[in-house]
Structure formats: C-alpha cells, structure tokens
A and B are shown apart, each in its own frame.
Chain A
Amino acid sequence: MGYVIMVPGLAVQGYLRPSAARLRAEGHEVDLLPPIGWPESGTDLDGYAARIVRHAERHGPVDLLIGLSVGTQAATLAAAGTGAVRRLLLISPTIDPARRSTAAALRAWSRGEQHPDSPRLSVQAHDWVRAGPTGIYRGLQSVIMMRLEEELPRAADPGRPVTVVHGEADQLSPLPFALDVAGRAGARMLIIPDAPHSWPIGDGDRFAALVSDLIMEPGYGRMPAREDVTSADRGR
C-alpha cells in the first residue's frame, strides 16, 4: 500500500471525501488537502504549491500525488519543486487555452454537467461558503493563466511517471487539452468511460483499482516503510 496526497479543485473538497475514504479502506494512507481558495490554503497558486511541497517533504516520500481539476495545476508545480513525489496522477487537467479568461472559465463552469455522478450543489455550496466569493475569485485569477502544458514536462523531467486522466463525459476540461498535456510530457493518457469532470466521485471501485495499479506498477520501486505520521489535515 502507499502514501497518497489528493489535491482537490478550486474551493471544493467535500466531494472527494468518499474517494479518499475508499483509498484508506484499501489500505493506503491518504491526505486530502484543503483546496486553494479556502482561508487556510490561500489564493495564490505558487504559495499553495509551496505548501504542498512542505507537506510532502514533511510526511513523504509520496507514492502518488493526485491533482484533480485545478488541483492538477498545483500538484504539477509542487511535483516540479520536490523530489519527495514519486508519481503524479492528474485527473481532469485545467485550464485549457480557450478558457483562460475569467468570463470563459466561469461560462464553462456555469454550464455544469448533466452526469448523474456530478457533485450535488448542497455538497459544493458548503465548501464555497467556506471560501467565500473573494476566495473563489482570487483563486481562479491565480490559476487562470498557468500553462499546464508548459509546466508538466518539468514535473515529469526527472523520469517521474505521470498519468493524465480524462473522463468521457467531462464538459469542463476538453479531451484535446488533456492529450496535448500528456503528449508534451510523455505521460500516460487514460480515458475513463462514463466519467464526469469530477471523477472519481461515485466511482470508488475504478478509482481504487487505478491508484493501486499505479503504485504497484512493475519497475516502480516500492517506498520503504514510513514512520507513522500524524497531521491535523490527514483525515485518518
């Protein structure tokens, strides 16, 4: 089993708790970090990535750093800044060039998705209140111009395995962007049938199987046994 850090999307975290719990049930140690936009995380992408680096170096090495949506950008910057991350998994990468303006990003987000597994508004609203409009707006401004396609090759450069995931039904992060990002970084690209942008919500089985596969992949050295680590934000 491995040590996993999950970096959620902009100003939301609750929708990922069942996924994190599922990984823990499989025997993984999982830290689900607070999202960018919340008061404890701040709204600056570089600062947020630096926090992830500190967390990884304090508690790691990390078998798998998982970024989701906007969290893919933070996870990429963090991985590029530390050797404590062994493997990177980016799910529904953002933000593609066509949406790199406030209006375009909000337009895409407001259209939402019709997928039955997409997060319920009540779950998201609770998290948005915690961020507040300022936290959401500033967080968005910070991530909007970051070019993932240029940063990811740096994160993958030292031979770190990277996997990019796109959900078949994702309406927010276009497939060509995910393929472009993966292609430039020499990353493995996976497409999940019948999965929305917010995957792995509602799909614990496939998520747990993917994480275990990545951590156990042949040729990838298992991490040594780690000291037991305690942390207020580890949620175990």
Chain B
Amino acid sequence: MAKFDENAKPFTNKWLDERIGLNTLKRVLNTEYWIPKDINFLWAMGMILAATFGILLISGIFLLMYYKPDTNLAFDSVNYTIMSEVGYGWLWRHIHGVGASLVFLIIYIHMFTGIYYGSYKRGRELIWLSGMGLFVAFSAEAFSGYMLPWGQMSYWAGMVITNLFSGGSLEAYGLVEWIRGDYVPGDAYLTRFFMLHVLLIPLVIIGLIVLHFGTLRLPHVNNQEGADIDYEESAALYKAGKKKESKVIPFSPVFLSKDIFVMGVYFILFFYLVFYHFNFAMDPVNFDPADGLKTPAHIYPEWYFLWSYEILRPFSKDVGLIAFALSQLAFIFLPFIDRSPNVAPAHKRGLFQIWFWVLLIDMIVLTAMGKLPPTNETFAAIGWYSAVLFLFMGPALFVITIFEKKIEKGA
C-alpha cells in the first residue's frame, strides 16, 4: 500500500506525486532525460514531425466537421462548403494540404540524418524499425487522404495504384475489386479510405509514435560523432553544476529550447507556403471533379512517392513490381544489411560516405524522373539507369560495410 500524506493538499505537487508519480515522470521524461550536447539542428526534426502531425490532426478535425464522404458530395463539400462557406475553412484546408506535403520533406530529412550518423545501428535498430513503420503509416495516411477531395487526380491515382495489386502476371483482378469494394474506384472505395484516413491509420500512427519514443529512451539519441557516452557520469557532472564539462544536457528545458527555436524557423516557412505558395501541395489537376470517363493528360503521385513510382515504371510489369517491393524492403532492413560495427558519421566511414551521397542523389533523380513524362526517351533512359542503380545500393552497402575498417574510439 503506497504512503499518502494526510496533510498534502489536493492537486499540489506532493499530492500528484503520491498518486501518479509526477516527479518521477518529470525526471525520466524531462529534467533528467539526458541528451548529448554534441548535436545539431537536424536533431530537432523529430519534434518538428510531432508538431506537424499535431497540426494535421487539428486542421483535420475542422475539415472532418464539414467533409461529406460520398462521391456525389465530396468535391463540393471541400471546394465549396469548406473553402468558401466555413469560417477560416480555407485556412484549415491549406494548412492540411501543405502540412501533408511538408511532413514528408521532414521525414526524409529525418531519415537521411539517421542514415548519415548511423543512428540505426547497435542498440537503435528498433528505433529505426518503428520509424520505418511510421513512414509506411504516413504513406498510407497520405494516399488515403488524397482520395478524399475526389478530384481527377484522386480518382486516377486511386485507379492506378489499386491496379498494382493485380500482381502483374498473377492477374489477381478479384483482389483489386475486393480492395475497391467495386469494379472501379467509387462510393465504397471512398468511404473505406475515409475510415482508414480518419480513424484507423491515425490510431496506428499514434501507437507507433509511442513505440518510437519508447525504443529511443534507453539507447538515448545519437550524437554527431557517434560516440558512446557514459550517461551516469555526465549526468552526475551536470547535476553537480559542472555544466561545461558535462557531455549531456537535460531534455527540458535545454534541448527543448533549441527544438522550439528550430520549430519557429520551420513555421515561418510553413505558413509562407500555406498563404502564398501551395500549388506543389494542392495540384491544380485535382480541382477538376473526378470523371471516370476522362483520364488527365498526366497522372502522377505526390512528390514524396515519385522515387518509388519511378522504380516501378521503367521495367516490365512483373519485374517492376518485384523491384518496387525490394526497394521498400531495403530501407527497412538497413540495420541488418550494414555489417560494420562503426557507429560514426558518414564522413568518418570511408566508402560509406560516397554510398550515402550516391543514394541521396539517386533518390532525387528518381523523384524527378517519376514526374517527367516517360515518352521522352532521354528521361526514360535516365530513369531506367537510376532505378537499376538503386537496386544495387543494398548489395553495395553490404559489401562496403563488410570491408569497412573498424574505427578505434578514443577516450
């Protein structure tokens, strides 16, 4: 039976501590959650993602009040009711659209930061895996959300992507119809993606975020040198007042203060885009109502899916599907493909550094080619070579890291 002080007044610190361990929570999550000092602003990307997810959630709530998930009503509920009738409806819609695009920019920066500094290695594998789970969940959330305005791009992207599930030579057309709930994307299709977007996937995302934080707590975040930090020693130094000598800082308020500054800069960019420059996130093609009898001249996914889309495109149907699957899996299994024991930034890891920049540039080229019309022969060729290169990046990493020299860690 826990000890309860009769004199403790309700809702005071002591009273709450006795009942929910408030002080322990504060220490573990905030004031004694130690973060290495040797980090840069890229370490704030996680918080920015959490903030952006929160913004998407809140703007989504107001859109949800007026959106009608019915193929006859959806387009006008968004483009008439929300955009012109609802007080500040246009603001929530712009915030939601721009937010959905920017969240992926930050996700990619966050991912590549992890790859560069080796934050997926020894002890942090689960952080990486739960993070990849979040990437997949956010991708599903973005895809399902894009269906909802029921514009031309919503319909035809839905048509093309669900067609993928026919599995090439497997010809699983029954499966495609089952997924859609109909022969073509229609009312059943819209309402089930509405359910996914508004309830199921957000719940999954929230669960994965909790897991992501949970897997982060014990290994602690990485640092710019990949160094092993004796947290007990450094924590003791800090608490004794020797802040300069300590290698760590507390999450709250020190690390948080830097996080918030970086967030401020991010929000300036975010809202500039919301008010003045949003066509990259709200493609004009989707302002034409969905028409099952008229295909737009150019169908393309949102920019963050383009690299995957391009791996699919250059090959024949079956080869493309296999290549597509392999490319997604390669990222997921990164911690296990990398055979080197070195936890260090890329610039200290010899060939790995070259591998990193080749990967980044290859993905940017794939992204660009995914948008460009494949009828142009030059673009088609570049796309083919970039896709093949990407497929070799996994095996290349395996080989490079087997032969990587072990870095002797100094004191």
Question: Are A and B genuine complex partners?
Answer: no
A residues sitting closer than 8 Å to B (CB atoms) are none
